Structure 1
Amino acid sequence: MKASTFVLLGAALASSVAAIPSSSHVVHEKRETALSGWVNLGRVDPTTNLVVRIGLSQSNLDQGHSYLMDVSHPGSANYGKFWTEDEITETFAPAAETVDNVRQWLSDAGIDDSSIIHTENKGWLVFAAKAQDVEDLLQTTYYKYSNTKTGQVVTACEQYHVPRNLQDHIDYINPGVGLPTASSATSKAKRQYGHSLRWKTSHVRRSMSMQLPRRQAVTSNLSACDTSITPNCLRALYKFPQSNSAQPNNSLGIFTAPGNHYAQEDLNKFFANYSSNIPQGTHPIPDLINGAKGTTTVDQASTEADLDFEVAYPIVYPQTLTLYQLGGSFNSFLDAIDGSYCKFCAYGECGDDSSIDPSFGGNVMCGTFKPTNVISISYGLQEQDLPANYQKRMCMEFMKLGLQGVSVLVASGDNGVAGPAGDGSANGCLGTDLKVFSPAFPNTCPYVTNVGATKVDTGKTVLDPEVAAYDPPYGNSSVVFSSGGGFSNIYDIADYQQEAVETYFLEHNPPYAYYSGNDSFGANGGVYNRLGRAYPDVSANGQNIIAVVNGRRSHIDGTSASAPIFASIINRIIDERIAHSKGPVGFINPALYLNPGILNDITEGSNPGCGTNGFSAAPGWDPVTGLGTPNYPSMKEYFLSLP
């Protein structure tokens, strides 16, 4: 990896007192702008012991995309021939030359060779040394930084140097320039966050004032689907029958962030009123990660957790759901479902980053749970929130999960072309004028399937085409729901979507100035990156969803509903494939972009944000609703035709 630039926004930096680098050294990482939410407490005591982790460049990372396409492209002879964990670990292990060269550099600099640990996964060289010695090695200066909200204190530098001839062998060094993102929280009715990663979730738009009875007749009436989306509305929209079979080893995985717990009482009331075929007491299989708890009392239940299960169960039952309840950072989830992740490094990150991933105490789970064939994730943040290398490393894990046959679907976000208000700026937008669109993470990773939100338009029925979801403020609320979509500042347009995106630009060109690549961020008044990975990929209903939360019936808006709906459809299709002696479908994007006709194209609506109308839906792919919503009969027929 070449020297990278890591940008953080905020107050002015303290001036550096780093030594002048030698001509043989070059800047490897540098923080060019000021910090937000952090105070420089001064230089680290030179006698302080630092544990230094040098991430070694991995082999064959440049081939990862090709490997994944080889097993994911319907035209490939290797379609569906997924890899094992051992094959992945062996393929991406760092070269012996990399290990030897970096170790020799450390030894020549006076680091005792016997103290250098080459980790079991072969991806890190780790050693402990005095801060002064590390500063001399990296020709930098270390400071203590305190978070103004949490009080957390971490060690970091403003930039560091490595020998020019080692740049291609070193991804990332910790402690380095990275600092955690400050946490924030708002009321549960609007948005719920967990830890420092500001998880985006759906929000309650309207809550009925009275408690639901313990049991009441399940309605089959479809006349009110423009105001209240029930399981019957979804069944009519996407033409899937009620399931009556469940193949073994095909549970749908639902990821839930820290502090977001479901209440069995809420699920029971929902089943009684809207899905009477699901027995009372039906609950997800609890794969609880690092001390998490799965369920809670009805008064403590979160909107997000209740919603995920209440939209998914009526689609997949009698198939099961598996709850991946997180008790640490997002990386803890990847650790727990894939042992090779704990032993795999990319872009200088191996396992959790102590400066970013919160500590929960206890031993980190590693490969404890087997990943399900499909995983739905309704949480995320923005690209600006974390270092690019951190995000790239996580993206490589999604690539690796795809290689193993796992389909990962992610909600596209609820703020249109912006991020959440207060996320880096008052309006959630970027640039000095706060007009640049803010792409979401992990949505922009090219190895996940992004799901935007649609709705049944006012006065329309399930027989009419849906439109892009949008719910403006009402009453005293300032909350706006707008389906997330846009273009990455980190990743280029994925090859599988290039033709579809080019067609959108050619036939439905957005009325905004743009920039071409993150190196020209905001140039010429541009508000989005014309060359960035485009999202969402698909969409599903995400407005006026009926759910039971805290014992009451509520109407919920959010792509947080859309992701588990689409994921449930994919899980149903895999069930059919297993019944026909076939396997999972893995990374589905190449197949979907090659065959957009198996989806319902959405052509109306937009995703406002950053003081604009956002992008517009249009025939074909668009950065509001993607390729469209599920058409179960067409999707089933197509995927059953594949090997």
Structure 2
Amino acid sequence: MLVHTLFRFLAALSVAVVTSASPSVLKLRQSIAPPRNWIDLGRAPSTHVIPLRIALPQHRFLELEQHLVEISDPFHERYGDHLSKEEVEALIAPHATSVDAVHEWLTGHGIQQESCDRSSAGDWITVHVPVAQAENMLGTEFRLWKHTQDGDVLIRTTEYSLPAHLDDHVELIQPTTAFHRAKGQRTSLHFSPTPATALSPSSDAMITVPGSGVTVNATCNATITVSCLKQLYNADRYVPQATKKNAIGLTGYLEQFANFEDLQKFYADQVPNAVNTSFDVVLINGGLNSQNISQAGDEADLDVQFGFGISSPTPGRYYSTGGRPKFTPDANTPTDTNEPYSNWLDFILAQKNIPQTISTSYGDDEQTVPKDLARRVCNGFAALGARGTSLLFSSGDGGVGDGNADPASQTCFTNDGKNQTKFLPGFPASCP
């Protein structure tokens, strides 16, 4: 009788041990405090479809980073020895074991491989699932969150879990705890209902920029033009030499459209040699290209006019990236997402030929981006750098602070529930 009882005890213990190591046991992966300026509106609709982006470990990223350091250093013997698309993908591709583990987990939730979207290197897998299914997969509860200032509504959670056996195979899943949004860095723009009088440069009126030795036309004290910017950087006499090989790219988000007609008026006023030239438009993730003059975006026009005006006659390319559908809690909206940089990176890294320089004038407070997601986005920029592309990101218009040019509107408080007073770096400008 004692032996029989002991046997039953050991059998029960064995089952308990197996159960505790079972893939169905979830382990908390991330938990955050409710973010500042967002209020909870209640449970998200269970049938609402959300895209889950699953990041698999880039096991050779440190090698890619070393390549980037060497080929970017003018004093290194490998300077300019850029990697190919295939070489970069080999360095950021996940192990086959990670791919198999993730697909096995997805299959267990009824998601077959053919319904998954994969990045070019295979390091991201995207699935579209109803909220109820996402909650079951991640052991969490998705809520509706509304921004108190602009009214944007997102479906997010403040924590999520994964099976413990996926620890080494999944870096992160978003959008879950990421509340960041791309914002145009243009708070110093001012518009007048009446056209401004152009100030023509005068060759006999020059001033010296204090502390630099650079001389510019005196009119640059009153208005900024393409000519002024070229003078400030001592590039006013430079003529691009490789316009058949080089290109410059500009990115647009938030339904911002660059208008061809506006550009021609700008060129006629400031860059006469560029009149009747234009730029290519590339649509990404549902991006649009409305040429309705009333829908022209001030951010998009500003970027295109000065970016392509300065670089002319180098060919220009404008990337219009979607991914911010207007979401109404009581509407049957098919998807809800706001991952502009990730969507753009998926596209651009899959291209064989990309511009040598790409500039972006959008960003958000760094603290609104979970560290693991920020790291992966920065890694994507590093992969572009290893292929020879220089990436420029605006750092904001307000100087040190929270990126708001109006001191009365600055709110330099942490987003962790403690409301500590700290400077708030901008993202992605803070990428290493």
| TM-score where L is the length of structure 2 | 0.69
Tell me if structure 2 keeps the 8 A contact 1:261–1:305: yes
1:441 partnered with 2:427: yes
Q: Counting helix residues as a fraction of each chain, which structure ranks higher?
A: 2
Q: Offset at 1:407?
A: 0.7
Tell me if structure 2 keeps the 8 A contact 1:285–1:321: yes
Q: Structure 1: how far apart are the matches of 2:270 and 2:126?
A: 55
Q: Structure 2: how far apart are the matches of 1:60 and 1:231?
A: 43
Q: Deviations over 1:372-412 (max 9, x none)?
A: 11112222221123333332222111101111111111221
2:63 corresponds to which residue? 63
Aligned CA distance change for structure 1 residues 169 and 262 (closer, same or farther; 3 Å): closer
2:188 corresponds to which residue? 203
Tell me if structure 1 keeps the 8 A contact 2:54–2:170: yes
1:443 maps to amino acid: A
State the secondary structure of the residue aligned to 2:142. Answer: strand
2:389 maps to amino acid: V
Q: Structure 2: how far apart are the matches of 1:212 and 1:304?
A: 22
Q: Structure 2: how far apart are the matches of 1:127 and 1:268?
A: 42
1:305 maps to amino acid: A
Q: Structure 1: how far apart are the matches of 2:69 and 2:55?
A: 27
Q: Structure 1: how far apart are the matches of 2:187 and 2:67?
A: 35
1:376 partnered with 2:362: no
1:82 partnered with 2:82: yes
2:142 corresponds to which residue? 143
Tell me if structure 2 keeps the 8 A contact 1:287–1:369: no
Tell me if structure 2 keeps the 8 A contact 1:73–1:79: yes
Aligned CA distance change for structure 1 residues 36 and 405 (closer, same or farther; 3 Å): same
Match of 2:394 among 411, 427, 439: 411
1:260 corresponds to which residue? 256
Tell me if structure 1 keeps the 8 A contact 2:246–2:355: yes
State the secondary structure of the residue aligned to 1:66. Answer: helix
Aligned CA distance change for structure 1 residues 74 and 25 (closer, same or farther; 3 Å): same
1:357 partnered with 2:343: no
RMSD over aligned Cα, in angstroms? 4.3
Match of 2:383 among 371, 390, 400: 400
Aligned CA distance change for structure 1 residues 230 and 134 (closer, same or farther; 3 Å): closer
Q: Structure 2: how far apart are the matches of 1:236 and 1:78?
A: 32
Q: Deviations over 1:207-252 (max 9, x none)?
A: 4844658xx9664442333233344433443332152755302122
Mapping of residues 157-168 of structure 1, within 5 Å: 157-164=157-164, 166-168=166-168
Q: Structure 2: how far apart are the matches of 1:301 and 1:412?
A: 24
Q: Structure 2: how far apart are the matches of 1:51 and 1:237?
A: 45
State the secondary structure of the residue aligned to 1:142. Answer: coil
Aligned CA distance change for structure 1 residues 39 and 401 (closer, same or farther; 3 Å): same
Q: Structure 2: how far apart are the matches of 1:99 and 1:114?
A: 13
Q: Structure 2: how far apart are the matches of 1:264 and 1:105?
A: 48
Q: Offset at 1:126?
A: 7.2
Q: Structure 1: how far apart are the matches of 2:250 and 2:130?
A: 44
| Range that drifts further, 36-45 or 412-421 | 36-45
Identity, % of aligned pairs? 26
Q: Offset at 1:49?
A: 9.2
Structure 1: unaligned runs, 5 residues or longer? 1-20, 182-195, 330-352, 359-363, 447-643
| Range that drifts further, 257-266 or 82-91 | 257-266
Aligned CA distance change for structure 1 residues 170 and 73 (closer, same or farther; 3 Å): same
State the secondary structure of the residue aligned to 2:314. Answer: coil
Q: Structure 2: how far apart are the matches of 1:29 and 1:167?
A: 12
1:340 corresponds to which residue? none
Q: Which structure has the larger Rg over C-alpha atoms?
A: 2
1:316 partnered with 2:311: yes
Aligned CA distance change for structure 1 residues 127 and 209 (closer, same or farther; 3 Å): closer
Tell me if structure 1 keeps the 8 A contact 2:135–2:142: no
2:6 corresponds to which residue? none
Aligned CA distance change for structure 1 residues 25 and 207 (closer, same or farther; 3 Å): closer
2:374 corresponds to which residue? 391
2:343 corresponds to which residue? none
Q: Structure 2: how far apart are the matches of 1:210 and 1:197?
A: 30
Q: Deviations over 1:610-640 (max 9, x none)?
A: xxxxxxxxxxxxxxxxxxxxxxxxxxxxxxx
State the secondary structure of the residue aligned to 1:305. Answer: helix
Q: Structure 1: how far apart are the matches of 2:269 and 2:153?
A: 46
2:246 corresponds to which residue? 250
Tell me if structure 2 keeps the 8 A contact 1:427–1:434: no
Q: Structure 1: how far apart are the matches of 2:130 and 2:224?
A: 61
Q: Deviations over 1:436-487 (max 9, x none)?
A: 11100110111xxxxxxxxxxxxxxxxxxxxxxxxxxxxxxxxxxxxxxxxx
Tell me if structure 2 keeps the 8 A contact 1:245–1:318: no
1:281 partnered with 2:276: yes
Q: Offset at 1:324?
A: 2.5
Tell me if structure 1 keeps the 8 A contact 2:51–2:129: yes
Q: Offset at 1:66?
A: 1.2
State the secondary structure of the residue aligned to 1:203. Answer: coil
1:92 corresponds to which residue? 92
2:209 corresponds to which residue? none
Q: Deviations over 1:48-95 (max 9, x none)?
A: 998866432222123332121132223333221211212222222111
State the secondary structure of the residue aligned to 2:362. Answer: coil
1:247 maps to amino acid: T
Q: Offset at 1:131?
A: 7.6
Q: Structure 2: how far apart are the matches of 1:231 and 1:91?
A: 40
Q: Offset at 1:414?
A: 0.5
Aligned CA distance change for structure 1 residues 272 and 316 (closer, same or farther; 3 Å): same
2:188 maps to amino acid: H
Q: Deviations over 1:81-113 (max 9, x none)?
A: 211212222222111233345556678xx6569
State the secondary structure of the residue aligned to 1:282. Answer: coil
1:228 partnered with 2:223: yes
Aligned CA distance change for structure 1 residues 239 and 179 (closer, same or farther; 3 Å): closer
Q: Structure 1: how far apart are the matches of 2:396 and 2:55?
A: 31
1:11 corresponds to which residue? none
1:454 corresponds to which residue? none
2:144 maps to amino acid: Y
State the secondary structure of the residue aligned to 1:224. Answer: helix
Q: Offset at 1:427?
A: 1.9
